[in-house]
Structure formats: C-alpha cells, structure tokens
Chains A and B, each alone.
Chain A
Amino acid sequence: MAEAPAHDYPTIEPTSFDVVICGTGLPESVLAAACAAAGKTVLHVDPNPFYGSLYSSVPLPSFLSPDPSSVPLSPSGDDSHTVVDLHRRNIYSEAVDLLLRSGGSHHVEFKSVEGRSLLYWEGQLYPVPDSRQAIFLDAATLKLTEKTVLFRFFELVRAHIAAADEDVEGEEASDKISEEDLDLPFVEYLKKQQLPPKMRAVVLYAIAMADYDQDTDCCEKLLTTREGIQTIALYSSSIGRFANAQRAFIYPMYGHGELTQAFCRCAAVKGALYVLRMPISALLMDEERKNCLGARLTSGQDILCQQLILDPSYKVPILDAPSDGSDSNLLRKVARGICIISKSVKQDSSNLLIVFPPKSLEEQQIAAIRGLQLSSNLAVCPPGMFMVYLSTPCADTSTGKQCIKKAIDALFAPQASDSLEGHLKETSENNEDLKPTVIWSCVYVQEITEGTSSSLLSCPTPDEHLDYRSILDSSKKLFTDICPNEEFLPKKSAAVYADDDSDSAE
C-alpha cells in the first residue's frame, strides 16, 4: 500500500478515547461494537481503505497472487463480479445470536447453505441427514435401521436440550442424558446408542464439527458428549433464525467483509469514530515501557487512550516477548485451498458444505477437511461457476497441503488446460455425470495466533473452524478484560438501535 501524503490525513478530534482499535477484522469490529454499546468512547482505525483486515472479501483481480499474510489491495471498484474471501466460513452458532442481539442483522443479507451438507464416505459423497424430514426423505442412501437409530439419537439430544433449558434448579430430569454419559467421549456415547460407523461420522464430523479423528485413543482432542451435544444444540438452534435461510448454515451475501462491516456500523451508531487509510506508526508507552498510553497515527497525531487493541498483523516486540506460557504449544496451522470450478459438486445444489472425516482420504489425514461450495447467487463469483473453499488444521505445512490436494482430487477432475480462457469453453460442454473441472485453484497454509490480553490487546487471527465460535469467544474474553462489569452486547442496545436509521453509520 502506497504511503499517502501526510496532508491527506484528517485530524482527529478529540485526541483522547477510552478505547482505540486498530484493524477492522471481525474480532476488532465486534469489540468496537461491544465497547461502544457499553458506553465507551471508541476510535476505530484501519490502515486499509476497506473494512475487514484479515476477514475481508477481495475482488478477484486483486487476488491473483494469494498471500494471506499481506493483504492484497486494489482501489475498490464495482466492476468485478468475483469476490474472494480470504477466509470463508459459515455463520453458525453464537454469531447468529450475537448478530440478532446487536442489531447487526439489519446491515447484512443472508443466504442459507441450501441443499445439504455432504459427507465423503468410502469414496462417495452422501447427503448429511440433519433433520427429521431429511432422514425421512433420504430413501436412497440411508438404511431403514440407520434412520431409526439416528432419529432416536436426535430425539435424545433434543429432549436433553429441552430439559436442560427448563430446569434451573439442576434437578434430575428423566429426559436428560446422565452426567456419567456426558463425560464419556462423544464417540463412545454414539457407539452406546448403536450408531453404525457411517452415522457416527455424520454426527461427529458433519454435525458436531469435530476436527480430529475421534476413533483413536491417542488423540487428546477427543470430544466429550457434553461438548458434542452443545454443538448440536447450536446447530439446531441456528436453523431458520433468519427469514430466507432455513438450513443450519447461513452465509452473508457479497462475502464476509459484510459481516465485519455490520458490526462496525453498530459501533458507529453508538458513537464510535471511524477512520480508514490510517495506519498506526508508533505506540505511546509510559516511562517504564510497561503500559501503553496511546498510539501515534501516521498523520503524526498522538491519540491517548486507556486501552489499545491491535489486529494480529501488527507485530509488537513487547507483546510477543512476555508470553503466558502458550509458546510451549505447537503453533497451530491451517491449510486452505481455494478453487474455482465449472459446475456444482452436486447437481441441483449451488451452495454446499462438504465434509471429509479424518482418514477418509488417506491414513495420514489426521483431521477433518471441510469444504464450502458457493455459487454466483451469493454474488461471489460469475454465473455458472462455483467457488470451493477447503480448510483443515494441520501440524506441518507439507501434510496439510497434501490433504487439501487429495480432497481437490477427490472432488474434481484435474485441470486439463493452463489457459483460463480456453478452459471455460471446454467445461461448458462437459457431460453431466463428470466431476466438475477446476478452473483455478490455490493451496496455502496459514499460522494461527491466539488473541493476547495485557495492557495492549491483540486479537486472534482467523482459525481453522468454519464458524466464528472460538473467535467470538476470545473477543468476548477480551471485552471482559476491558469492561469487567459490562454485559457483552446486551440486547437492550439493539432495541434502541433498531429504530435508528441504519444508514447513519456511514
């Protein structure tokens, strides 16, 4: 990004804020909205001329050399029809609730992942039966007895959730799953419920969204029944929260950058001040270099604040040095693949979630790979084409990349021609039952850093999950550090806001 001349920068008035936030990624934006809602004065700056930081959606021409650590930029123009999200994920779970609570849902348009989720099992793609009706209608791939055990399990979970919601006293209800069972590994509980292996894979990897192989004992990431059921509860409570979007996954139209902007708008309505194209050039520290007092902007202006929040692309030496022991952990990595394909993986469905359970592709595959296919009806790619985002957590770069490549091979026919132009013509004549052809693809690996909290707060990078749950959790944690006695985006703030003209945020 080219340095802009100093005189272009506006002068910010006042010069002292409760909170200064740099970067407009999702956690930063959520924090901005939360702080503003809690009555703090907020200055939100971003070095980029667009919203979103690492969470932004970038038009395709600016994404020709994908390198996730340095965000590619281009003057935002409306001439492009293809938007590449740097990180694709579904809103699922708590984000739904948060959006509703903050009133952010007024600013974004949603689409459900219609059709279904698909599970890759023994070399084939099967629809994921995720509801009573879906189990009933799937006569082709589900055996009759599988239907009974699966639905009986769903009912068990539903009764447990309902009973857990009702009893405040902690009284033992007969509908609840026993404490003993809740502490069991989830996979053991599923076996106890007589779910056959394929149904276990459906529940574990396509519904409870477990990442790592649950069938080996060595794995320390075994999901307990309690955790598994919590995820299923979220899955089922997310279904149909917004009109137009009925499935468990919903997806913002026009890419994920919209989501961060929705929260920024909420913050702005509550009085937060927004300045784009405004990098921070230095931190203002106290004499002992322990506490941060404020930040110096590129414009040269010094802003004082009680709390400075930085997006994870800022590397501050003093932040990295005093670690809280999390260094001993291996750095988490996530391998990602982005493909543009000629036709849908499954006929008649445009937006799909595809899950490869661990070991379904090869022995070395330690974690589930998830893929998200999006179509042009989400305004992310040209009509007739589909975009697939694949991701999997991995320990090292090469196995991660290999897994993603295997998944691409399993789903798509290899690229026949190098020429993008020539290829488009070929694929349009493709036979119906052939696998879709890859028009363009890239595979990369990204490291994940956690959010840290000290006097200088740093937000987490996007993680390997398809949903925002853990990111929202850490944002919430950061918020309680700033405002220990305040509620995180209370419902009330939305009610007042809901009547406001939503355009005033601009």
Chain B
Amino acid sequence: MHGRPRRPAKPEDEEAASAKAAKLRDLQAQVLHNHHARTYTKEAIGLSFKLLEINPEAYTAWNYRKLAFQHNVKELSDPEAIKSAVDDELRVVEVALRQNPKSYGAWYHRKWLLNQKLAPVDFKREFGLLDKLLKVDARNFHGWNYRRFLSRFMGVPDEEELKYTMDKISENFSNYSAWHNRSILLSNLLIQQSKGFESKQKIFSEEFELVTQALFTDPSDQSGWFYHLWLLAQTSSPDNPQLIASWPSNAAKLTSSLMKEKVEQHTLSSIWSRTVPIVLYFNEPVKGLNQSSVNLKSDLEFSKDIQWRPLTMADSGYSNCWAAYLQISNECSSLQEYSVEVNIPCSDDIVSRSGSNYNSPVHFTFDIELISNDTAQGLDLFDKPVAWNCSESFQSHGNRDPIPVDLLKITSALVEQDSNWHFERLSEEIDLFRELPDDNSKFGKLTLARLLLACAAIKSRGRSLIERKGYCEEALGLFTDLIHLDPSHKQCYEDERSLVLMDKLTCDMETFMKHCSVQVQPNSAPLNHVQLCRLSLTRIGFAERLLWVQMLDLSHNSLRSVEGLEALQHLVFLNISNNQISSFTALEPLTKIISLKVLDLSFNKIGAHSIDTTRYICSSPFSHKIEASEAFEEYQKVNINVEEYWDAILFFRSLKLAQLDIKGNEIASKENFRTLVVTLIPCLKWFDGEDVN
C-alpha cells in the first residue's frame, strides 16, 4: 500500500480506462434513475451492486442501497430472512472493500448496517475481516477506525484493545495508527482509573521505555517520535488548565476618566474612559468562561452584563486568552477608589480541549480610581505624528511600580503537584537523547529541544533561573542546528527559536527590564514601553508576560505573524516596521485590540505576492464570515474595488487608528490605496507621516 511508484499510463491503459468510464457512466445513470424513481426491485439493487463493485466511491449508490434496504426489510418479519438480508448487504461491502480498502462509503455503510441492530452481529467475522485487512495494510486508518467502532459497539475492554496495538507494534513499529490508538486507549484507561492503570507515573514510565526502544532502533522513523511527543505533552503540562496571568494583576491600581465617549477617540488612553478590560490568560486553551464561572464583585456599577469573549482567531470556542470589558455606568461619578474582586473557583464549566476541568481556584483584587481628568479634555493629542524614540528607563522614572513583577507573581504562586516526578522523568529522557548516536537525527534534536523547554517550563515554577536559562540556551543551539540540518522546515524551527528567545528575554526581571522603559508623550500619562527589536523573531510568544504593555516596538525582526498580540488589550502603539508580514490576513489579531491607535507597518511585504499564502497558515482568515459580505456591499456602493482590497477592507474597518505608516509595502504604492484607507478609517489623522486633511 505504501511506497509504490506510480507508472506512466500506456496507450492501451487509456483505452481500457475510457471503456471503463463509459460503462461506469451507463451504470451510474441507471442507478440514479432507479434512485429517483424509488425502484427497489432485485434487478435495480443488483445494478447498484455492479456499480459499487467497480467504483466503491459512488456515494449515492450507497445511499440508494440504504433506502432500498430499509424499504425491503420492512416487509420481512422472519428473523432468518432479515439476517440473510443483512448478510447480503455486508457481503456487498466486503466486495467493495476488496476493490478499495480505503473507501469511506463502504466503511460507513457497514457501520450503518450494524447500527440498525436488525440481526445479531457476528463479531468473530467482523474482527476476522479486520485482521485480514490490517494484515494487508497495518496502517489502514479506516480499518483502525472501524476497529474502534466495533470495540465500542460490543464493549471490548480497552485493556484488550491496548494489547492488540502492542501486537501490531511488535510486528512493525512504524505504525502511526497503532501508536495513535494506544494513546487514546491509555488516556481512557487513566481517566477511568481502570485496574492496573491507577498510577499515571508508572504507566508513562513504561510507555517512555517502550517508545525509546523504537526511537533508538530507527531514529529516522517518525511514528515513534509522534508518540513520544504525546507522552511529553502528557508529562510536561499539568493535568488541569491553570490561570497563568491576568490584567489587571493582583493589587493593581488603575485610573479611569469620566470623559464622554465621543471625546475618547482622540486621546492617548493610558487612562481608561469608563471601559476597563479584564484579561485572563490560561496555560492551555479553555472554554466555558461566563458570569457564573468567573465571579466579579465590586461596589462599582456596570452598565452592561459582563461577557467573557475568547481572544482568538479560531471559531472553536477554546482560547488561552479571555477578555471582558467592564463598562462603568454613568451613575458612578464620585471621584474615589473602587475595588474589584475577581474570583475563579473550581469549575466544571471551564474545561480544556482534553476535557479536564479547572481546579486551581484563583482570587485577585484591583482598584479603579475614577478621575475627572479635565486637563486632557479637548486637547488634540495627535497634533503631530508620534515618534518612537523618546523614552526613559524604568529606573529614571523611579516612582512607577514595576508592573511585570506583579504579573509573574501569579505564575509562581501556582502550586505544581507532581512536578518532581515530571522533572525527573524529563531529565532522564534528556540524558537519554543526549546519547543518541545519530548526530544528524532531526527528530532526535527536535525532541531534545522540546524536552529541554519542558524542563525550563517546570523550572519557572521553582524559580531556578540559572538552570532555566541553561535549558533555553541549549534549546536555542539545537534549533539553530536544525535550521541548517533540515532547511525545508526552516520556518518552523525559526518560529520555535523565536519562542525560546522570547522566553529567555522575558523570564526574569533583570533581563526583561533591559527592554522595558517608560515613554513620555506630551499631554499624556507615561506609557509602558517594551522594545524587542533586531532579534530575528518570526513570531510572538509568551504574550501573557506582555499584558501590561502599552507601547510595543517589534521593528527590524522577521515576523510573519502577529498572533498572540491580541492578548495585549492595553496596547496603544505598535511598531512592526521592517518585518516579513506579507498580508493583512496575517494582521487579523490586531483587530481584536480595541485600544490600538498608532500602527507602524512600514517596510513589510504586504501586497508583494498576489497570492496570500498565510491564508492557509492563519487559523481563521477573514474570508467566509457573514458580516464581511455585508461590509463589502456597503463599500461597493462608494466605488471601492472589493475584489482587490477585500482583506484591506476587513482589516482597516475594524481599527480605530489615528496614525498609520505603511510605506515600503507593495500595496502602498497602488494609486488609490491612500483614498481607500482614509475612507475605511474615518478617524485617521496621519498617513505615512502626512496629515490626512
């Protein structure tokens, strides 16, 4: 089944193929005719068999057979007759599977038949059929799917199925399906706490040993590495989701002005006007945050019900990062401090993708001070374009609280159970893979890097900074090796390296402070400024440590995506000039940052390629959304070329920018682009350094 070379077609093959096609067309027409006419006679059903015998992919023929079967079986009352009807149908499926063992339609038909529960199922025959098929091709995932279906159908204990995966792995360990099924069965058994599966540590130790045997035998075989990756994920991450950061952080003091909303759009709002976002950041994607799973207590009055929204591009409902916007009601007008209490108890509502619920309760409070802020009122802060070079260090601005410390407090306050075992297990694996004699095994290096990072993550909880940095350094070296060793996956390794780099730069205060400063703009409170320039970053990581940032300079990197920045609900200034952004689709996360006012996109690659390749990389491109088509209609009316600028339209219309720099991109040189942007962002004041008006 695998690794068969394709031979070029010969002329006689073509002839045979066209004859076959003619025959198929004829059969298909007849079957369709019978289908429409609801003819369920023996001859008509026989025709559909003839069609499926040659082409098991004719899905309509399967559906026709289902209807015909239901129709005919109704008239039968003798159990024997029903049984023989079912048997006939099963035999048709077998014939089809002989033609194509990977026919979706045929497998589905068989499951459908069994699910009708009309006759007792001969499980011996079913498992016999499966054994035969899996002998021909042990990696036929349809077969494995059907096996899972059967074992559930007849209640085969997971332990037995686990034994079967071991049999298959003993025959040939290059079997993704067997390893995969093993991971599913083990997860089930561990969750159910079946007999012999009480200790996760013992089971995983055994599994690590088993898969290591395969990895060391043939380091170039991928199937084992995939299983190892699963084991690593099970070992390195906590069982249950955890909150790792929030904004505002615990005991933070905020100020909020009582300005009217219409004035708001032209202010540099380090001071919130009646709207305060709360951001919660989890260690893995979760869903189920709502008013009851997150308790908010405050003497402030909110004008609307609080709604928690996932900050993510995907529609899955799961997200690492959740936000809610507190609307301070107009009735609150006394200038005083209000305290807000956030309480996340153990909750069955908040669940991770693997289905485990949130069970580490967190409680934090912060204060909001309402101020009148009359001085700022009426002042146009954007009377000239904002420059990026006037900032002072934190030290010189001594009176400010170093905000990151507070953020990190939450992270370290979390108690990590079992972390000793995890760490020991991972260390053992690291020692093992350091000895892998195959120096050029990319999987070996990648796995070692991942193990090191998992160790680093555990160490962050124990605050062993030096060790942690050592792990990061080694992992960085491995990724650099990998970029040379396996150039076809260069971008992937660069992304991984960027994450490690960001971890290294932000994991401790001392290093992080070198990149932090306070930006002082006239007529505005100082802004928290972070500079991560010229680091060859290709993507953003550890956004949970940047939640407090208001001004972010990421210029002169190699960013291809800005995913992660959507968590920075406080961000006002963003500089991503001189990067590798190639489309507006890649910038979609920015549309989630409602506070963003100044954006520097200059000298990127937007518009350089007519085909937007990131559409397939980004989790959810702009396209195919209902609100999009409404917007398009609207803009079509004002003579905007929707076909050409659809992504620009969707991007800019969701931003409330005051200043945009986009020079140095292909798209900016297009004639009517400036007009387009100005139309799309009515509040824009500065375009590429020029006054819009």
* A contact set with B: CB distance below 8 Å: 132-133, 135-137, 139, 144-145, 147-149, 151-152, 155, 194
**Contact across chains for A151 and B217 when beta carbons are under 8 A apart:** yes
**Contact across chains for A148 and B213 when beta carbons are under 8 A apart:** no
B465 interface contact, C-beta 8 A: no
Main secondary structure of the interface of B (DSSP, over half): helix
Give Cα distance in the complex from A370 to B213, angstroms.
29
**Contact across chains for B172 and A148 when beta carbons are under 8 A apart:** no
B436 interface contact, C-beta 8 A: yes
B401 interface contact, C-beta 8 A: no
**Contact across chains for B218 and A133 when beta carbons are under 8 A apart:** no
A195 to chain B, nearest CB (A): 10
The chain B residue with its CB closest to the CB of A143 is B216
Choice from A132, A139, A144, A145 contacting B218 with Cβ under 8 Å: A132
Collect the chain A residues with CB atoms within 8 Å of residue B214's CB. 136
**Contact across chains for B170 and A137 when beta carbons are under 8 A apart:** yes
**Contact across chains for A152 and B438 when beta carbons are under 8 A apart:** yes
**Contact across chains for B173 and A148 when beta carbons are under 8 A apart:** no
Given the interface contacts A139-B209, A152-B438, does A145 sit within 8 Å of B172 by beta carbon? no
**Contact across chains for A135 and B217 when beta carbons are under 8 A apart:** yes
Collect the chain B residues with CB atoms within 8 Å of residue A152's CB. 437-438
A152 to chain B, nearest CB (A): 7
Collect the chain A residues with CB atoms within 8 Å of residue B437's CB. 145, 148-149, 152, 194
Given the interface contacts A144-B432, A151-B218, does A136 sit within 8 Å of B438 by beta carbon? no
Show 27 A/B contacts (Cβ-Cβ < 8 Å), sorted by A.
A132-B217, A132-B218, A133-B171, A133-B173, A136-B213, A136-B214, A136-B217, A136-B218, A139-B213, A144-B212, A144-B213, A144-B216, A144-B432, A145-B216, A145-B435, A145-B436, A147-B216, A147-B217, A148-B217, A148-B219, A148-B436, A148-B437, A148-B438, A149-B437, A151-B217, A152-B437, A155-B218
B70 to chain A, nearest CB (A): 44
B396 to chain A, nearest CB (A): 56
**Contact across chains for B170 and A133 when beta carbons are under 8 A apart:** yes
**Contact across chains for A136 and B436 when beta carbons are under 8 A apart:** no
Give Cα distance in the complex from A63 to B313, angstroms.
85
The chain B residue with its CB closest to the CB of A149 is B437
Given the interface contacts A136-B213, A151-B217, A151-B218, does A144 sit within 8 Å of B171 by beta carbon? no
- Number of B interface residues at 8 Å Cβ cutoff, please give it: 18
A57 to chain B, nearest CB (A): 35
Give Cα distance in the complex from A133 to B436, angstroms.
19
Give Cα distance in the complex from A245 to B601, angstroms.
69
Q: Which B residues, 426 to 446, have Cβ-Cβ distances below 8 Å to chain A?
A: 432, 435-438
Give Cα distance in the complex from A121 to B209, angstroms.
25
A244 to chain B, nearest CB (A): 16
Choice from B170, B171, B216 contacting A148 with Cβ under 8 Å: B216
Collect the chain A residues with CB atoms within 8 Å of residue B209's CB. 139
The chain B residue with its CB closest to the CB of A133 is B172
| Binary per-residue interface labels of chain B (143-175) against chain A in the complex, 1 for a CB within 8 Å, 0 otherwise | 000000000000000000000000000111100
**Contact across chains for A136 and B219 when beta carbons are under 8 A apart:** no
The chain A residue with its CB closest to the CB of B436 is A148
Q: Could you list 20 further interchain pairs (A-B, Cβ under 8 angstroms) beyond the known A136-B214, A139-B213, A145-B437?
A: A132-B217, A133-B170, A136-B217, A137-B170, A137-B213, A139-B210, A144-B212, A144-B432, A144-B435, A145-B435, A145-B436, A147-B213, A147-B216, A148-B216, A148-B217, A148-B219, A148-B436, A148-B438, A152-B437, A155-B218
Collect the chain B residues with CB atoms within 8 Å of residue A149's CB. 437
Give Cα distance in the complex from A363 to B432, angstroms.
37
Which residue, of A133, A136, A139, A155, has the highest number of chain B Cβ atoms within 10 A?
A136
Collect the chain B residues with CB atoms within 8 Å of residue A145's CB. 216, 435-437
A313 to chain B, nearest CB (A): 48
Q: Which B residues, 201 to 217, have Cβ-Cβ distances below 8 Å to chain A?
A: 209-210, 212-214, 216-217
Collect the chain A residues with CB atoms within 8 Å of residue B438's CB. 148, 152
Give Cα distance in the complex from A402 to B216, angstroms.
41
Q: Which B residues, 66 to 115, have Cβ-Cβ distances below 8 Å to chain A?
A: none
Give Cα distance in the complex from A135 to B435, angstroms.
18
Collect the chain A residues with CB atoms within 8 Å of residue B210's CB. 139
Give Cα distance in the complex from A323 to B670, angstroms.
97
A69 to chain B, nearest CB (A): 48
Collect the chain A residues with CB atoms within 8 Å of residue B436's CB. 145, 148
Collect the chain B residues with CB atoms within 8 Å of residue A137's CB. 170, 213
Collect the chain B residues with CB atoms within 8 Å of residue A139's CB. 209-210, 213
Give Cα distance in the complex from A139 to B217, angstroms.
11
Sorted nearest first, the 4 A-B pairs with minimum C-beta distance are: A144-B216, A147-B216, A136-B217, A148-B437
Give Cα distance in the complex from A136 to B210, angstroms.
9
Give Cα distance in the complex from A162 to B150, angstroms.
42
The chain A residue with its CB closest to the CB of B174 is A132
Collect the chain A residues with CB atoms within 8 Å of residue B172's CB. 133
Give Cα distance in the complex from A133 to B167, angstroms.
12
